[in-house]
A and B are shown apart, each in its own frame.
Chain A
Amino acid sequence: MTDDESGDLASRRGLDDAVVYQPAEDSGLLAEAAVAEAHGRVLEVGTGSGWVAQRIAEERGLDTVGSDLNPHAARQARERGVEGVVADLCSPFRADAFDTVCFNPPYLPTDPDNEWDDWMEHALSGGESGRALIEPFLDDVGRVLAPDGVVLLLVSSLTGYDEVLALAEDAGFSAEPVVEESFPFETLTVLALRRT
């Protein structure tokens, strides 16, 4: 590799880090739940840095696809050895394709006047309700999920736990908390959703 190429690669990685959500407490909690519950073929929606998908692939030896709207994120996932795909939620995946689908959604309720319109906003903001991405995800995830499949969805108390439970029920799922942890400003729960 020439100096020019390695310089480009270094600056590209620096850029990717700046515009891709990096692992935090919520990622750790989702990884813990997913390593315990995942089976079969796995999809992580909104994979970000790919860290959760990589842990599932390595600790469970499962085939794992990491998809993200953000091409910088798909590239980081690929660098971690995860199959990276640029996609909008579950839209380019086949019916019954996955036994496990994981999602740590952008969930912070955001004032529309304060939206900042860049990749980090896409990674964090869940619109005014905090549920702007959770609703379309729950509407479509049943299609790509195999009959005995499980969805692992991270929910913050900031997003409205009861509201998300109601949305899951409307989409035909029963919900069971797998792990839960309280932080000063929010409680994070990973729900396992199964078809009722």
Chain B
Amino acid sequence: MKESLMDVICCPLDKAALDLDVDDEDDDEVLAGTLTCTECGETYPIEDGIPNLLPPDMREEAAA
């Protein structure tokens, strides 16, 4: 994901802003990292350049 995506995404639960922690990036994209809600503290993974912003209960269901 490009860092500019931060301007349009929020926590799906309470719509608060997210903090970005980058684990891996290339010239113009974040490839791996974590998004953390500044309000409720819920975390959302970024894997292979794709943020997973499903609420936690749906994330587990989708993985099953």
13 A-B pairs besides A71-B52, A75-B50 with CB distance below 8 A are A69-B58, A70-B62, A78-B48, A85-B1, A85-B9, A86-B51, A86-B53, A88-B12, A88-B55, A91-B55, A93-B8, A94-B10, A98-B8
Q: Which of A74, A84, A94 has the most chain B CB atoms inside 10 A of its CB?
A: A94
Interface size of B by Cβ–Cβ distance < 8 Å?
22
Whether, in the assembled complex, A41 has its beta carbon less than 8 Å from a beta carbon of chain B, the answer is yes
Q: Which of B8, B44, B54, B62 has the most chain A CB atoms inside 10 A of its CB?
A: B8
Q: Which of A63, A71, A92 has the most chain B CB atoms inside 10 A of its CB?
A: A92
Q: Say yes or no: B50 contacts A92, CB within 8 Å.
A: no
Query: Closest CB of chain B to A100's CB: distance in Å?
Result: 13
Q: Say yes or no: A92 contacts B12, CB within 8 Å.
A: yes
Q: Say yes or no: A87 contacts B12, CB within 8 Å.
A: yes
Q: Say yes or no: A69 contacts B54, CB within 8 Å.
A: yes
Q: Say yes or no: A75 contacts B53, CB within 8 Å.
A: no
Whether, in the assembled complex, A65 has its beta carbon less than 8 Å from a beta carbon of chain B, the answer is yes
Q: B58 to chain A: which residues have CB within 8 Å? A: 69, 88
Whether, in the assembled complex, B27 has its beta carbon less than 8 Å from a beta carbon of chain A, the answer is no
Query: Closest CB of chain B to A63's CB: distance in Å?
Result: 8
Seen from chain B, the residues whose Cβ lies within 8 Å of a Cβ on chain A are 1-2, 4-5, 7-12, 15, 44, 48-55, 58, 62
Tell me whether A97 and B62 are in contact in the complex, defined as CB-CB below 8 angstroms, given that A83-B2, A86-B52, A86-B54 are known contacts.
Answer: no
Query: Closest CB of chain A to B50's CB: distance in Å?
Result: 5
Q: Say yes or no: A65 contacts B54, CB within 8 Å.
A: no
Query: Closest CB of chain A to B34's CB: distance in Å?
Result: 14
Q: Say yes or no: A94 contacts B55, CB within 8 Å.
A: no
Q: Say yes or no: B1 contacts A83, CB within 8 Å.
A: yes
Query: Closest CB of chain B to A36's CB: distance in Å?
Result: 23
